[in-house]
Amino acid sequence: MRLAVVDDQLCNSKICGIPCVTFCPVNRIGTKTVWIAENGKSRINEQTCIGCGICVHKCPFSAISIINVADYWGKRLVHRYGENGFALYGLPEVKRGFVTGIIGRNGAGKSTSLKILAGELQPNLGNNGGNLLDLFKGSELRQYFSDLSSGRLKISVKPQILTLGEDDPYMQKTVNQVISSSRDDRLKSLAKEFRLESLGERKLGQLSGGELQLLTLALALSKEADVYLIDEPSSYLDVFQRMEAAKKIRETVAGGRSGVVIEHDLIVLDYLSDYVSVVYGSPGVFGMASRSYGTRNGINNFLRGFLPDENTRLREGAIDFFDVGMGKEEVGRVVFSWGRLKKRLGDFELTSDGGEAKEGSVTALLGRNGIGKTTLIKILAGIVEPDEGAVPTAGLRISYKPQMLRPVDMVVSDVMDAVKDSLSKDYYKTEVIEALGIDKLWNRNAKSLSGGELQKVAVALCLGRDAEVYLLDEPSAFLDVEERLRVGKAIRRVMAIRRSTGFIVDHDLLLLTSTSDSMIVFEGESGRSGHARKPVKVLDGVNQFLKEVGITMRRDPETGRPRVNKEGSILDRQQKESGAYFMTSVSAEVEGQS
Ligand code: ADP
Ligand code: ADP
Ligand code: MG
């Protein structure tokens, strides 16, 4: 059986000369297999297509994908976005009384799965007739859809995309209006715990991404429901807010309800899930939901790149580099140093201790939203002048990736022309361009890129410049787990090879701990004052942070990835007592007990 998918956004039959139609060997012998439909897009008959791949290679826009799939997959087809559209096979299970976490690459069908579970999107089973309940015979999902269709299941959804149109009347409401319009005390208490009350008269349209995320999450969790479907809760949130949001999700689902949560922050996902399902496949082409694994196994299988029950390889090779930095003594030349700094911006004041950064090393900046991380990065980059103190950037070449990205109206290959010199180097080609998949975006206009694609281009551009100091503000935003870890690895490799030094602001603790040697921890009050401490070893920085949040972490003995301990578990109590909030090694026996 064959799956032929055409990306209608890339397909442009007006200017390509339609090689997909003219070169198709089946067309040539008179069986209409590839043609241009009324909407001007290429269409392919999957029954007569022989899978030769000629159209795939001839298409100048890489708009066509043809994949051979096993026959039995047909029986699992849940939804097709139109003729030759993206195909979703299977769905993640909803386990009563538990939280199921969903991991997977961007564009693999996670949000689509959630919309189907929410009853927002009616699955068409590929328009092959058939019946949804038959499709899920023998699975918990059969009962689920039967209850859903009879109205016996109450569903509450936190969508991935938060903003409505600018002129939508809802966005004109104030936070107070939204909170007080509910008679529910649960919303009021969530709003308090998420610190939303102080936003009072602010209109929804004026909120920051993090504030809107917390409000939307509070609304979803305050609803009385049987099933909570939460799409990417940690976007725009800082580390404190992520852990708080995860706690609240767990609390809400406890007591016989169910939760399904899509999440790219692996530490958060690990913390909030009881089960994990991997949605794998080829982004934009097809997606397939794995069965539910226990959280630890599910995430470890995902990192190893192999799903044993499905006998499926997710990628070549494992993701395993969680042992860098971490408490090791840095050696080498100091590339960059700065003294005490002070900067006032409106009502906000930033102060900073001095510090230094060595060649080949990466320094993480960790702190709440609105505490001055971006301001410090800009001062270190020489873009913002401090009121007191100085940063000796004279003579240093600095490469900076801002937090907010604005795409230019240019083809990616032209954008990347700015770093031609790097493009001729092997390490840059393999460890940055290919590792981040920039080669696949080469002919796309930057304006047509998704948030994640744009982020990867911005990171590649930043790492491609010839510099001594690299500063990256929130490189993990909009990226999936795999991309985040690849970005982290690319940053490390470039610092090592160029003998430069890097700074990363980010909220993904896995990215920070697996990429950095040192950490600058911010303290203070969001929006009012922030203080950046001097850089310390990552281990000490994470310890300071975890102590403040009141959680402890251990390392998974198999993969080395950090995991949050259950509150009150033996390890949790021991580590809190000894002050080792972040434990660097765990034996397999201890892992078994916790
Ligand atoms: P994920 O949440 O895993 O990033 P989505 O479920 O949002 O992925 O989308 C999976 C794929 O489905 C996308 O890459 C896109 O090709 C396709 N898709 C999503 N929504 C639509 C739509 N409304 N119409 C057509 N195709 C869509
Ligand atoms: P972070 O990166 O930690 O989220 P920022 O450095 O972006 O924090 O901002 C810290 C505080 O300074 C915020 O409250 C922000 O609103 C304020 N701020 C940033 N830039 C300006 C400015 N140009 N004028 C006034 N206030 C500003
Ligand atoms: Mg999504």
pLDDT at position 186: 87
Would you put residue 472 in left (φ > 0), alpha (ψ -120 to 50) or beta? beta
Residue 107 CA, ligand 1 centroid: distance in Å: 6
* Higher per-residue pLDDT: 567 or 376: 376
Instruction: Please give the average per-residue pLDDT across 519-525, as a whole number.
Output: 95
Q: What is the pLDDT of residues 86-129, one digit of tens each?
A: 999 999 999 999 999 999 999 999 999 999 999 999 999 998 88
184 Cβ contact partners less than 8 Å away, ≥ 6 residues apart: 222
Nearest to 536 by CA among 356, 381, 392, 378: 356
Distance CA 436, CA 35 (A): 33
* Higher per-residue pLDDT: 443 or 328: 443
pLDDT at position 260: 98
Answer whether 367's CB lies under 8 Å from 521's CB. yes
To test the pocket of ligand 1, the residue of 79, 88, 112 to mutate (highest count of ligand atoms within 8 Å of its CB) is 112
Answer whether 535's CB lies under 8 Å from 518's CB. yes
pLDDT at position 317: 83
- Residue 509 scores a pLDDT above 60: yes
What is the CA 65 to chain-centroid distance, rounded?
25
* Number of the ligand closest to the Cα of 91: 1
Helix and strand numbers (H, E) in the chain are 24, 28
261: β partners: 101, 230
Distance CA 70, CA 354 (A): 60
Tokens (6 digits) for 164: 């409505």
Residue 348 CA, ligand 2 centroid: distance in Å: 7
Answer whether 237's CB lies under 8 Å from 75's CB. no
pLDDT at position 328: 58
Q: Ligand 1 atom 23: the closest Cα is on which residue?
A: 81
What percent of the chain is predicted at pLDDT more than 70? 96
Compute the mean pLDDT over every residue in the chain, rounded to the nearest whole number.
92
User: Under DSSP, is residue 5 helix (H, G, I), strand (E, B) or coil?
Assistant: strand
Q: Does ligand 2 lie within 6 Å of residue 30's CB atom?
A: no
Q: What distances in angstroms separate CA 298 from CA 104, 109, 276, 291, one per listed residue?
A: 11, 18, 5, 9
Q: Does ligand 1 lie within 6 Å of residue 437's CB atom?
A: no
Q: Does ligand 2 lie within 6 Å of residue 209's CB atom?
A: no
Instruction: Please give the average per-residue pLDDT across 63-82, as a whole number.
Output: 92
Ligand 2 atom nearest residue 505's Cα? 2
Ligand 2 atom nearest residue 526's Cα? 14
Q: Does ligand 1 lie within 6 Å of residue 559's CB atom?
A: no
User: If pLDDT is split at 50, 70 and 90, which confidence band does 295 have?
Assistant: very high
Q: Does ligand 2 lie within 6 Å of residue 375's CB atom?
A: yes
Q: Does ligand 1 lie within 6 Å of residue 284's CB atom?
A: yes
Q: Ligand 1 atom 16: the closest Cα is on which residue?
A: 284
Residue 232 CA, ligand 3 centroid: distance in Å: 7
Q: What distances in angstroms separate CA 196 from CA 230, 234, 328, 368, 516, one per listed residue?
A: 19, 16, 40, 15, 32
Residue 108 CA, ligand 1 centroid: distance in Å: 7
Tokens (6 digits) for 208: 């920051």
Q: Which of 94-103, 157-166, 207-216, 467-476 has the lowest mean pLDDT?
A: 157-166
pTM of the shown model: 0.92
To test the pocket of ligand 1, the residue of 6, 81, 91, 261 to mutate (highest count of ligand atoms within 8 Å of its CB) is 81
- Residue 44 scores a pLDDT above 60: yes
* Number of the ligand closest to the Cα of 6: 1
* Number of the ligand closest to the Cα of 241: 2
Residue 478 CA, ligand 1 centroid: distance in Å: 15
pLDDT at position 8: 94
Residue 81 CA, ligand 3 centroid: distance in Å: 15
- Strand stretches in 18-161, DSSP E: 34-36, 42-44, 64-68, 77-80, 87-89, 99-104, 155-158
Q: Which of 246-255, 325-334, 492-501, 508-517 has the lowest mean pLDDT?
A: 325-334
pLDDT at position 255: 84
Answer whether 458's CB lies under 8 Å from 446's CB. no
Answer whether 483's CB lies under 8 Å from 106's CB. yes
Residue linked to tokens 């539910």:
292
* Number of the ligand closest to the Cα of 452: 1
Q: Which of 31-45, 149-163, 285-299, 448-462 has the lowest mean pLDDT?
A: 149-163
- Residue 594 scores a pLDDT above 50: no
pLDDT at position 373: 96
Q: Ligand 1 atom 24: the closest Cα is on which residue?
A: 81
To test the pocket of ligand 2, the residue of 347, 375, 505 to mutate (highest count of ligand atoms within 8 Å of its CB) is 375
Q: Ligand 1 atom 20: the closest Cα is on which residue?
A: 112
pLDDT at position 593: 44
| Structural domains of the chain ordered from first start | 2-68 (3.30.70.20), 76-313 (3.40.50.300), 334-536 (3.40.50.300), 550-594 (no CATH)
Instruction: Please give the average per-residue pLDDT across 503-513, as a whole number.
Output: 95
Residue linked to tokens 């790097």:
422
